[in-house]
A and B are shown apart, each in its own frame.
Chain A
Amino acid sequence: MKDLYGENIEYKYDLIKPEDINLIQAFSCGNENLDRYIQKELIINNDVDTTDGLPYKVVDLNTNEIIGIFSLAASGIIHRQGNYVHVLPAIKIDIFAINTKYQKIHMDAISEASSDPDDHFYFSDAILCEAIKICVKLSEEKIAVKYILLYADKKAKRFYQRNLFHDFADFMEKEQNMEINKNEPMYLPLD
């Protein structure tokens, strides 16, 4: 992938289907647990596992490789007020995984040349933006949704911050926070 910029990669995204099993088995994001799940459990016996989200694939139109996999599911922010419980509707990004071959690819030469990390824009940012756009479209046309939620691996927190997700940990009930060891709760308001 040397000298390749994200702006040159043509891709499409679609829901994962049972016939994608061979593509799925060749996918690796570098996270052992996630790779094992994607390669061995996401499609079993001609069924796609949708337990925790509806999985999408992003495919390179030139190589037919899977660039990334993400999954979306209904979720919410629970807000207790006295005896009442409000659920602020949200979409959770349960999985967000980028093929190791497509990680750290700058979108263009401008990004690569910039010495300011805040001015960097990676191809993976563009893929996350596609997931955000799906959520926006749903919220505008199909169903009321106010937030996108996710738990970020600590190593990926900067990636999500760069894409304007915010920390939720400080606003979270302590009891729930104790359930989180290596992941950071983050959110992005939809508007």
Chain B
Amino acid sequence: MAYKTKSKERDDTMAAVSKPVNGAFILNSKKAEEFFAQKVNTSSDAIRRYEKRKTKTGDVASKSDK
């Protein structure tokens, strides 16, 4: 078996600090409306920032085995 799940606490990872909710974030109900109404940058903006850099400097080589 190549991959295994084990229960062990460790520091400095998301799981270590969010055990009570198993890694999830709990949204404060009183602030939900404000949260959903926000206009914030998204993954498209984050990727666009990278792509913009690539077009300035030429292609950045990366490959995935997937």
Which chain A residues have a beta carbon within 8 Å of chain B's beta carbons?
A: 6-7, 9-15, 17-18, 31, 33-34, 37, 41, 46-54, 61, 73, 75-81, 87-88, 90, 92-95, 107-108, 110-111, 121, 125-126, 129-130, 132-133, 135-136, 148-151, 153, 163-164, 166, 168, 170-176, 179-181, 183, 185, 187-191
List 13 A–B pairs whose Cβ atoms lie within 8 Å, in order of A's numbering.
A7-B58, A10-B63, A12-B62, A51-B15, A88-B27, A108-B53, A110-B56, A121-B53, A136-B47, A163-B46, A171-B34, A183-B14, A190-B43
Tell which of A41, A78, A81, A87 has the most Cβ of chain B within 10 Å.
Answer: A78
Across the interface, which residues of B come within 8 angstroms of A11, CB to CB? Answer: 61-63
**CB within 8 Å for A107 and B28 given contacts A48-B4, A151-B18:** no
**Can you add 16 more A-B contacts, CB < 8 Å, to A51-B5, A149-B23?**
A6-B60, A10-B63, A18-B2, A51-B15, A61-B63, A75-B24, A77-B25, A94-B14, A126-B53, A132-B46, A135-B43, A150-B14, A164-B46, A166-B38, A188-B41, A188-B42
The 10 nearest A-B residue pairs measured at CB? A47-B4, A52-B15, A14-B65, A12-B63, A33-B11, A164-B41, A129-B50, A10-B61, A191-B42, A164-B46
